[in-house]
Structure 1
Amino acid sequence: MIKRSTLALVGLSLVAGCASSPVAAPVVVNSGKADDPRRIQTLVADCMKQRGFKYVAWVPEAKVSDDVEKAYLGDYEAMKKERSQRGFGVFADFVYPEEGEKRVIWRESDSPNFAVKNQLSPAQRTAYGKALTACRSLALKQVTGKVVTSDEDRAKQENEMIAQRLDRELNADPKLVELATAMGDCLKGKGGQVASLRPVDMSRRGMQEFEAQKQKIALNDDIPDKGLPDGQYYEPRIPVATARQYLNREVKAALDDLECGKDFYAAYLPRTDEIARQVEREFGGGDG
């Protein structure tokens, strides 16, 4: 499994595909409506039919528990429960792998098209993937006006836009700056390392600290990481006993981070979620 060092954002996963040849598209209307995901899926199904492939229009539903949703939005008790078991979420999956599976928002096998594709020969699956990527790109452009070359490109553009808006809107917010500064001072008093007091940086500092530890393990294990793009590496194989030692330290750091940042997260995380959802809607919402 390849680990991507990207932004930790609230949003739906995208299913990967390949590029293909274009077809003519009608006039673009950038609506941003709630039914955009369904419209996109309907257009994808029609496009795939034109290419001789079966495709079922399908919009995934997020499968996130109420507690996890509350934690995403800065609820103190929900965050404390989450962090008491999983810390910042870096080493927990090595200790509780079954929990990680339960927390997946949705997976490719949930789609009715997973079985459709698996019934094809290898050559047909390759052609199917190319057609699907082309159809998704065309449908997205028709509904939203966004130009993407693949699902990976779409995710990259979404993350970049979210990062820009977080920086512009949240790092410049006087109240969030005040709360982030107070959080940083508190953490320094507990012996924590704080490189930046900017709100966006404060929200990520803990996870990034332990992510760096995991990356160091990955880059020094016996799994070659050569040939991968910058910032990517293969997940390391860490024995449960060793991972638990890391997780114990991570949990303590995450709880200290939460105690110092209780007021900050309550104000910051709902704003982050709002921005992420706004951008997701601009890109057609959470279509599959």
Structure 2
Amino acid sequence: MPRRSFLPLAVLALVAGCGTGTTASPSAAPSPTQDKAYMIQAAKADCMKTKGFRYVPYVYRLKLSEQDTKPFDYATEKASRSKYGFGIFIGLGPDKTPDPDPEADPNVAIVTNLSPAQSSAYKKAAENCVVQAARQVTGKNVKSWSDWYGQAGEVLQRLWKRELDGDPKLVQLASDMGDCLTGKGYRVTATNPVAMHEWALQTVQRDLLGRHKTMTSDGDGATFRPITIPPDEARRKLNKEIKLALDDLECGKQFYPAFLPKWTKLERRVYDEFGMI
């Protein structure tokens, strides 16, 4: 399956909802460094218990293959993208096979077995508890689930602007990538490093995904729902996705190796600070 690490986080989220090979696993116990994400989940479970609900501490973790953890390699990326594109439409046709995930979130089954009234009360309690837990563990003045993620996003945006968009080498490489894509006939509206990293995702969403949506929100986080596209449309869009992915790779073959390590480090730093995935 395609390598994941070159994709923006939003693509990873989208792909995770499409059954294309990326799975999740829960943390069974805190890490030796007292992982904040698990601590928040444990505190949430305690809070839910006081409200009369069962909740199992669960931390979403992307399972990365050995290929995912290796440095960016042009030849490997080209081979992967030539077959899978970004790994999106390959998983949306009627012949897709859902990946078995024996370690899926156990709380889904808990909510499924509740009555509509109980489910509504459960979800309300869950948001209140995760907010309380996030405050307790991180010390952040969190007001809601969306506020929690919003605060993390604001911190990340500031770091991106300062440490990525402010890096002269990355600025030049991103500008060169933008010129290359423009020369291939693509629309590029911004060439700062972060914008160039997000360019492929935005183009796929605008020109290929369109009306097809894979993520909704129930107030306590994102809910992924698989979709199926007619076979002719899925194949047609996969071919376009592959071409886009290869052009993106060709134009970004100097940019990505310089950008990705720094971007990943910043993302991990903020998510650790806020106790997220």
Q: Which runs of 5+ in 1 are unaligned?
A: 1-6, 14-32, 220-233
- What one-letter code is carried by the residue in structure 1 that aligns with 2:273? E
1:82 aligns with one of 80, 105, 115? 80
Corresponding residue of 1:184:
178
The CA deviation at 1:271 is: 1.3
Q: Deviations over 1:24-77 (max 9, x none)?
A: xxxxxxxxx55212222221122122112222223344223333454xx63334
Matched, 1:65 2:65: yes
SS in 2 for 1:218: coil
Indicate conservation of the 8 Å contact 2:204/2:241, yes or no: yes
Quick one: distance in 2 between partners of 1:157 and 1:50? 27
- What one-letter code is carried by the residue in structure 1 that aligns with 2:256? Y
Q: Deviations over 1:173-205 (max 9, x none)?
A: 011012112223333444444332211122222
Matched, 1:208 2:183: no
SS in 2 for 1:262: coil
Corresponding residue of 2:9:
9
- What one-letter code is carried by the residue in structure 2 that aligns with 1:258? L
- Identity in percent: 43
- What one-letter code is carried by the residue in structure 2 that aligns with 1:51? K
The CA deviation at 1:121 is: 2.6
Matched, 1:51 2:51: yes
SS in 2 for 1:146: coil
Indicate conservation of the 8 Å contact 2:94/2:229, yes or no: no
The CA deviation at 1:140 is: 0.5
Indicate conservation of the 8 Å contact 2:93/2:229, yes or no: no
Matched, 1:195 2:193: no
- What one-letter code is carried by the residue in structure 2 that aligns with 1:274? K
Q: Which runs of 5+ in 2 are unaligned?
A: 1-6, 14-32, 213-224
Normalization by structure 2: what TM-score?
Answer: 0.72
Corresponding residue of 1:4:
none
Indicate conservation of the 8 Å contact 2:94/2:230, yes or no: no
Question: Are the structure 2 counterparts of residues 248 and 196 from structure 1 closer, same or farther at C-alpha, using a change threshold of 3 Å?
Answer: same
The CA deviation at 1:171 is: 0.8
The CA deviation at 1:118 is: 3.1
- What one-letter code is carried by the residue in structure 1 that aligns with 2:35? D
Q: Deviations over 1:86-115 (max 9, x none)?
A: 32455444347737x54x9x89x8123333
- What one-letter code is carried by the residue in structure 2 that aligns with 1:148? V
Structure (1 or 2) with the larger CA radius of gyration: 1
Corresponding residue of 1:267:
258
Quick one: distance in 2 between partners of 1:12 and 1:147? 28
- What one-letter code is carried by the residue in structure 2 that aligns with 1:187? L
Corresponding residue of 1:169:
163
What does residue range 67-146 of structure 1 map to in structure 2 within 5 Å? 67-70=67-70, 74-95=72-93, 98=96, 101-102=98-99, 110-146=104-140
Count of matched residue positions in the alignment of Structure 1 and Structure 2: 240
Matched, 1:40 2:40: yes
Indicate conservation of the 8 Å contact 2:45/2:56, yes or no: yes
- What one-letter code is carried by the residue in structure 2 that aligns with 1:162? L
SS in 2 for 1:110: coil
Corresponding residue of 2:249:
258
Question: Are the structure 2 counterparts of residues 94 and 119 from structure 1 closer, same or farther at C-alpha, using a change threshold of 3 Å?
Answer: closer
Quick one: distance in 2 between partners of 1:152 and 1:98? 32
- What one-letter code is carried by the residue in structure 2 that aligns with 1:172? G
Question: Are the structure 2 counterparts of residues 49 and 242 from structure 1 closer, same or farther at C-alpha, using a change threshold of 3 Å?
Answer: closer
Quick one: distance in 2 between partners of 1:276 and 1:97? 34
RCO comparison, higher one (Cα < 8 Å, 6+) = 1
- The 4+ residue runs of structure 1 with deviation greater than 6 A are 10-13, 234-237
Question: Are the structure 2 counterparts of residues 79 and 127 from structure 1 closer, same or farther at C-alpha, using a change threshold of 3 Å?
Answer: same
Matched, 1:278 2:269: yes
Question: Are the structure 2 counterparts of residues 145 and 81 from structure 1 closer, same or farther at C-alpha, using a change threshold of 3 Å?
Answer: farther
Question: Are the structure 2 counterparts of residues 261 and 171 from structure 1 closer, same or farther at C-alpha, using a change threshold of 3 Å?
Answer: same
Indicate conservation of the 8 Å contact 2:93/2:228, yes or no: no
SS in 1 for 2:114: coil
